[in-house]
Chain A
Amino acid sequence: MSIEREKLEADVLIVGAGPAGLACALHLARLIDEHTKAGHSPALSPENIYVLEKAREIGAHQLSGAIMDPRGLRELVPDFEKSAPLDTPVTGDAAYFLTARSAWKFPITPPPLQNHGNFVVSLNKLVKWLGGLVEKTGINVFTQFAGAQLIYEGNGIAGVITEDKGVDKNGKPKDNFTPGYELRAKVTVLAEGPRGSLTKGLVNRLKLDGLNPQVYAIGIKELWDVQPGRIATGYVAHTLGWPLDSSIYGGGWIYGMRDNRVSIGLVAGLEYHDPLFDPHEAFQKFKTHPFARKILEGGKLVRYGAKTIPEGGWYSIPRNHMDGGLIIGDSASLLNSQRLKGIHMAIKSGMLAAETIYEALVAGDSSAKTLAAFPKKIEASWIKKELWTVRNFHQSFQHGLWAGLAHTAIQFVSGGRGLIDPMRTRPGYEEYHKLNRPLELVDQSKRFKGDGVLTFDRLTDVYHSGTRHEEDQPCHLVILDPDICRDRCVREYGNPCQYFCPAAVYEMVMEKGAPKLKINASNCVHCKTCDIADPYQIINWVVPEGGGGPNYEGM
């Protein structure tokens, strides 16, 4: 249907109100404020900066472990220790290697996992607070509005079209139909987090991929309230080994937070070989290890969630500037996978983008040439310095845990170079081993059910993510060729979507004697695992109607 859209023009449009997007907005507001106070021209105003956020409220889609390196926040908000909602400083750290029954503690915590001087934070709370600071500057943060399409112009982008609201599940307008707005801006900043839907399209269309493709891990997390005395506040532990076998990149975490709250989770690289590997089940099993069990037993599940993590490092960073556009934060793969930290880089990249944009607005020129200052600023900053030393880290593990650790040790003493530099990889979805099965669905009755006390099935967990969507809307998981699901995938991979989705969105059922894909779209927690891990790359995650999605209170 051809729709007439209301058009709006802004100076800057930021898609995503996470740490990167908000840092960009806040820093830009300050630069504009100084500019105005000094009487410079042209006249600039924070009212011409729009931030779009698809969640119902700022912070609702934010999930992370998280241990934050304060260096980024310190630059953005120098008095953050007094004003930011930090949960607790890290008071002790440890690393463990787990087997099915025992936990062997590393005599020295490996330096990347040493967290002295860092803070355990709830990213949801931190982002809510940052959102408050941004709104005080006069910048409009439009929650419940998603960037549905990019406006491509010339060699770059000119803005974003927000999603049409009030469309029924057959694509027809409902009584409350409101077409999306056409928002044009001199600079559009994509800060969508890992595997942003607009960023994915942009990278493909303008061929922005770096030397290596972006690769990801899934992080599955639960928040628990536990009995007093089980874990010290600020004590953080990371684990390797069980339940992940040595061919799967990843590990677990347990962080002791204030008031007997515990953050626990498991990370698994989305490049494993067994298509029927179930990351959610692995996480549930992880909790049954005596090491975790003795902390959680007697406690209560508070919240559940999942999100993907951009793991590729320096060589997988896409080109992040173009005519009228910048990509920042997790969308730009700015994360130190060895230290498991990206929040500080998201914030710093937001600030560097703000400086670049400010210069562009003053010069009246937002072409790629002017915005090329952004990657130059990143090169000159501690982002590059930090990422350069771990530039081959994640890729080292493509031949297993032990080879990975060996490579890492050599990289450690060679400033990141290691034995092979750059270490090339394939995209994660090319790593599956084919199964060669008959045209029969894998029996789902044996799926992990949990005991309902310490471990849970996915449906129970999903309930605790608070995820809700308007029911009568088009399905936001767009399958480009469902015939593949019904036939090829049943035979070649056993339909791994039923396994890698942490929210039980995908189900294969028999209908009239033939396999059929059933999608429970309203369970979706917006982690993007399916878009990343599907072997045929036929799942395209698009934004649902704004406001839908998880409610990651406290995560």
Chain B
Amino acid sequence: MKILVVTEQREGKWNKVSFETLAAAQQIAQQAKGSLSGVVIGKGVAALADELAATQLEDVLLVEHDLLERYTPDGFSIALKQAISGTKPDLVLLPHTYQVRDFAPKLAASLGKGMIGDCIGYRYENGKLVFVRQMFQGRTAADVVFVGEPPWVATFQAGAFRADLVVQRQGGKAPVKPVPVELKPEQIRAKPLELFREAKQAVDLTQAPILVSIGRGIKAPENIPMAEKLAKLLGGELAASRPICDEGWLPMERQIGSSGQTVAPKLYLALGISGAIQHVVGMKGSRTIVAINKDQNAPIFEVADYGIVGDLFEIVPAVVEELEKWKAS
């Protein structure tokens, strides 16, 4: 059995899941008494191919082209199809990454084949390779086999195999063979733009020592800056009860309660929060709770250490003024 394992890299750095798939490929090659080749695809990635060549495999195919510098589904599937046609493997294995999900089905279809994706394992029984994949959110697993002629394409789920079980090569590195790729710009229909990274969560409320939390009593989003100002002056963070986040006045990551975060800061200031049990369970561990609410029967007063029955629109500006004076002195 001839096996090809396609690795993944971005900007010269490995996607480490590639090595989990390599470990799986090595195990299959050993059991099926087959040969294994690695594939590195991109541009200017000879160094990575060299690194891969130190692991136990026959050779490393270096699939390079200017148009492969940035990932595109067309570029990668056309180039890999050429590599596959040239080397005629029986089995092509890839790690089930986001990127692979994007082009592997296309690649398989271009070969006129199906693909078994996101496998959690395999068995090699009586000369037949059986892939295992999950169904019903992991409640059962299905055995899937290929029918028909190779090449067969399959991907393995991240975490299904252990990268540290990759076997290193004995007796020198494997040869690295450049694979000629024919690609024309008009074949590539997607234009990759700037890479972006998801904005990191701006705040971790569980780490804030002081929280100023607003509830329905704040009445309108225009009044939120006042509370934010108070939070800044106190050296704390702004938080909210569910209705505020439901309205979209603050993002969900600021929500405290049973369907939000649970916090226990040194000081929790509850402004215009009624104290419904769903909110209280998220903050009752706070060291000191101060509540301001117009309604003297609001349940928040049962958990508050200090409470003011009053109008937060009078009280908060007054507190802010005192704090500013104190800071200035």
Question: Which of A's residues lie within 8 Å of B, judged by CB?
Answer: 6, 140, 142, 144-145, 165, 178, 181, 449, 452, 459-460, 463, 468, 471, 520, 522
* A6→B116 CA distance, assembly (Å): 13
- Asked if A460 and B276 sit within 8 Å, CB to CB, the answer is yes
* A459→B277 CA distance, assembly (Å): 8
- Chain B residues near A452: list those with CB within 8 A: 299, 302
Within 8 A of A (CB), among B224-249: 246
A195 to chain B, nearest CB (A): 26
Within 8 A of A (CB), among B272-306: 276-278, 281, 297, 299, 302
Nearest CB to that of A463 among chain B residues?
Answer: B277
Seed contacts A142-B136, A449-B297, A463-B276; 19 additional CB < 8 Å A-B pairs = A6-B135, A140-B139, A142-B139, A144-B137, A145-B136, A165-B137, A178-B137, A452-B299, A459-B276, A459-B277, A460-B277, A463-B258, A463-B278, A463-B281, A468-B258, A468-B259, A471-B252, A471-B259, A522-B259
Chain B interface size band reads 10 to 19
B277 to chain A, nearest CB (A): 5
Q: Is B140 in the interface zone, CB < 8 Å from A?
A: yes
- Chain B residues near A522: list those with CB within 8 A: 259
- Chain A residues near B278: list those with CB within 8 A: 459, 463
Nearest CB to that of A470 among chain B residues?
Answer: B259
* A516→B302 CA distance, assembly (Å): 33
A458 to chain B, nearest CB (A): 10
- Chain A residues near B302: list those with CB within 8 A: 452
- Chain A residues near B281: list those with CB within 8 A: 463
- Chain A residues near B299: list those with CB within 8 A: 452
* A452→B301 CA distance, assembly (Å): 13
B137, B246, B259 — most chain A CB neighbours (10 Å): B137
27 contacting pairs across A/B (C-beta < 8 A): A6-B135, A140-B139, A140-B140, A142-B136, A142-B139, A144-B137, A145-B136, A165-B137, A178-B137, A181-B136, A452-B299, A452-B302, A459-B276, A459-B277, A459-B278, A460-B276, A460-B277, A463-B258, A463-B276, A463-B277, A463-B278, A468-B258, A468-B259, A471-B252, A471-B259, A520-B246, A522-B259
* A108→B318 CA distance, assembly (Å): 68
- Chain B residues near A471: list those with CB within 8 A: 252, 259
- Chain B residues near A144: list those with CB within 8 A: 137
A409 to chain B, nearest CB (A): 46
Nearest CB to that of B276 among chain A residues?
Answer: A459
* A178→B259 CA distance, assembly (Å): 23
Nearest CB to that of A469 among chain B residues?
Answer: B259
Nearest CB to that of B297 among chain A residues?
Answer: A449
* A165→B137 CA distance, assembly (Å): 10
Question: Which of B's residues lie within 8 Å of A, judged by CB?
Answer: 135-137, 139-140, 246, 252, 258-259, 276-278, 281, 297, 299, 302
A473 to chain B, nearest CB (A): 13
B276 to chain A, nearest CB (A): 5
Nearest CB to that of A8 among chain B residues?
Answer: B135
- Chain A residues near B277: list those with CB within 8 A: 459-460, 463
Q: Which 4 A-B pairs have the closest CB atoms?
A: A463-B277, A459-B276, A460-B277, A463-B278
- Chain A residues near B137: list those with CB within 8 A: 144, 165, 178
* A452→B297 CA distance, assembly (Å): 11
* A547→B252 CA distance, assembly (Å): 22
Nearest CB to that of A141 among chain B residues?
Answer: B139
B130 to chain A, nearest CB (A): 18
* A468→B136 CA distance, assembly (Å): 21
B249 to chain A, nearest CB (A): 13
Nearest CB to that of B136 among chain A residues?
Answer: A142
- Chain A residues near B139: list those with CB within 8 A: 140, 142
B252, B259, B277 — most chain A CB neighbours (10 Å): B277
* A449→B278 CA distance, assembly (Å): 15
- Chain B residues near A468: list those with CB within 8 A: 258-259
* A463→B258 CA distance, assembly (Å): 9
- Chain B residues near A181: list those with CB within 8 A: 136
* A460→B281 CA distance, assembly (Å): 11
* A181→B259 CA distance, assembly (Å): 29
* A145→B138 CA distance, assembly (Å): 12
B209 to chain A, nearest CB (A): 27
- Chain A residues near B297: list those with CB within 8 A: 449
* A468→B299 CA distance, assembly (Å): 22
B180 to chain A, nearest CB (A): 36
- Chain A residues near B246: list those with CB within 8 A: 520
* A178→B136 CA distance, assembly (Å): 9
A181, A452, A468, A471 — most chain B CB neighbours (10 Å): A471
* A165→B135 CA distance, assembly (Å): 13
* A248→B276 CA distance, assembly (Å): 31
- Chain A residues near B276: list those with CB within 8 A: 459-460, 463
* A353→B60 CA distance, assembly (Å): 62
* A2→B297 CA distance, assembly (Å): 53
- Chain B residues near A140: list those with CB within 8 A: 139-140
Nearest CB to that of A165 among chain B residues?
Answer: B137
- Chain A residues near B259: list those with CB within 8 A: 468, 471, 522
- Chain B residues near A449: list those with CB within 8 A: 297
- Chain B residues near A142: list those with CB within 8 A: 136, 139
* A452→B278 CA distance, assembly (Å): 14
Nearest CB to that of A6 among chain B residues?
Answer: B135
- Chain B residues near A520: list those with CB within 8 A: 246
Nearest CB to that of B139 among chain A residues?
Answer: A142
- Chain A residues near B135: list those with CB within 8 A: 6
B245 to chain A, nearest CB (A): 10
B127 to chain A, nearest CB (A): 27
* A460→B276 CA distance, assembly (Å): 7
* A452→B302 CA distance, assembly (Å): 11
* A181→B139 CA distance, assembly (Å): 14
A456 to chain B, nearest CB (A): 9
A476 to chain B, nearest CB (A): 16
Nearest CB to that of A547 among chain B residues?
Answer: B137
* A471→B276 CA distance, assembly (Å): 19
* A240→B252 CA distance, assembly (Å): 46
* A314→B299 CA distance, assembly (Å): 48
Nearest CB to that of B274 among chain A residues?
Answer: A459
B99 to chain A, nearest CB (A): 14
Nearest CB to that of B135 among chain A residues?
Answer: A6
A58 to chain B, nearest CB (A): 13
* A459→B278 CA distance, assembly (Å): 8
A35 to chain B, nearest CB (A): 24
B114 to chain A, nearest CB (A): 13
B197 to chain A, nearest CB (A): 16
- Chain B residues near A178: list those with CB within 8 A: 137
Nearest CB to that of A181 among chain B residues?
Answer: B136
- Chain A residues near B140: list those with CB within 8 A: 140
* A140→B246 CA distance, assembly (Å): 38
- Chain B residues near A145: list those with CB within 8 A: 136
A459 to chain B, nearest CB (A): 5
- Chain B residues near A463: list those with CB within 8 A: 258, 276-278, 281
* A468→B259 CA distance, assembly (Å): 8
